[in-house]
Amino acid sequence: MTSPPWLTSFLALLLGRSARRRRHVLFVLATAQLYMVSMVVIFQGMGHGLIRKPVALTLLACCVLVFGVVFTLVRSGWSARLDDPVLTFPHALACQFLCVLAYVLLGRDGADIMILMGQTIVAAMFRLRPHQILKLGLISVGMLCAAVLHVRLTSPDSLSLLVASVQLLMGGSTLLLLSLVGKWVSEIRVHLGRQADTLQQTLTRLQHMATTDMLTELLNRRVTEEHLGRELKMHSRHGQLVCVALIDIDHFKRINDQFGHHAGDLALRALADHARGQVRPPDKLGRWGGEEFLLILPGMNLDDALETLERLRIGTNAIRIDAHPDLRIALSVGLAAARPDDTPESLVDRADQALYRAKRLGRNRCVVAGVSDSPSPAPSLSEPRHELARPPFCGPLPAGGTA
């Protein structure tokens, strides 16, 4: 259900527009209920004559001031630069100070304020780190001790030694116990958070391993096939253009034999790194097997696809590997455009036929599958070269022929 425009505008003004800012502001607003309960109690106490009006107005003004300052700092984004963008620790300290101030102002009627101090610790334990919640508890106990001693020394008639001792013992021990429990809860929360992060990192690594070729960091064959299947469905349903190129490193076995298999791995990585910078974000490039790569070009016609592949091929000729300065990389490419009745297998097969012709024509070139091409056995090397006519859209022949 769509929210009314006025409500959307109001929420944007109150909470902000970014999701992160809204979470922070909502957490601050959640603490407002403690302020509201305290203010209702103050109003009732003032109405029944239990709290003098100046004291009540002072407490109300302090509550509004503290909450307003914290809300403004969080809503404005100023606190986003801090480790704790919702200001949990300083906010909790300010609340404890308000409670102590109320205890001092209310005198003998302020013992119930200790309950609010305990609530503050409980609310803070879900945001603070273990050492912070323990620190908050110790400071709260110290503030309570100072308040009780102040009332006892300044108004001995309103607070007997026995009552002061009981309040100090009961309140201090309760706050200390709550801080210890809060520290334990915070440790569990931190531990669970770390476990969740570790699990998420493990899942991310597993997903990366399941979808990525570990040598080249490109898509692996399984995922590439899935992308090709989806693109062909889009082509069948909506007529979206899609081209597929099968790319092969020329004389890769010779590279391994002459420079070693490690050099072959470096060549594969170098090609993958170069190709990433030549394709568009919607294009999908995967390692098809060995020294072969499959490039899926959705929404691109044959002319544009050939231009992209020629740029990739020419750029590959310029790749240099520092560890093997004499090593040169050249590509043969077979390109095919999807037909309405194509399956992933038939489309890749036509690209493979075009790749084979590129190899027979001298390598280091791009060849486009002809309109009349159909899946058929590749011609053998013994067949005469005149049967391998140059197909349409064949890329330019480089000087020197082979890689």
- CA dist 19 and 113 (Å) reads 36
DSSP one-letter code for 255: H
- CA dist 375 and 349 (Å) reads 6
Task: Report if pTM > 0.75.
Answer: no
* pLDDT over threshold 60, residue 401: no
pLDDT at residue number 55 = 85
Alpha carbon 139 to its chain's center: 37
Higher pLDDT residue, 9 or 267?
A: 267
- Name the pLDDT band for 162 (thresholds 50, 70, 90): confident
* pLDDT over threshold 70, residue 378: no
Longest dimension (CA), the chain: 119
Tokens of 12: 């944007």
- CA dist 136 and 73 (Å) reads 21
- CA dist 82 and 103 (Å) reads 32
* pLDDT over threshold 50, residue 356: yes
Domain spanning 221-387: CATH 3.40.50.11740: no
Give the model confidence (pLDDT) of 233-266 as tens digits. 999 888 899 999 999 999 999 999 999 999 999 9
Domain ranges of the chain: 5-207, 221-387
Which strand (E) or helix (H) includes residue 237? helix 221-238
Helix, strand, or coil (residue 9): helix
Give the model confidence (pLDDT) of 35-79 as tens digits. 888 888 788 778 877 788 888 898 899 999 999 999 999 999 899
Sign of CA dihedral 314, 320, 321, 325: positive
Give the model confidence (pLDDT) of 362-377 as tens digits. 999 999 997 444 333 3
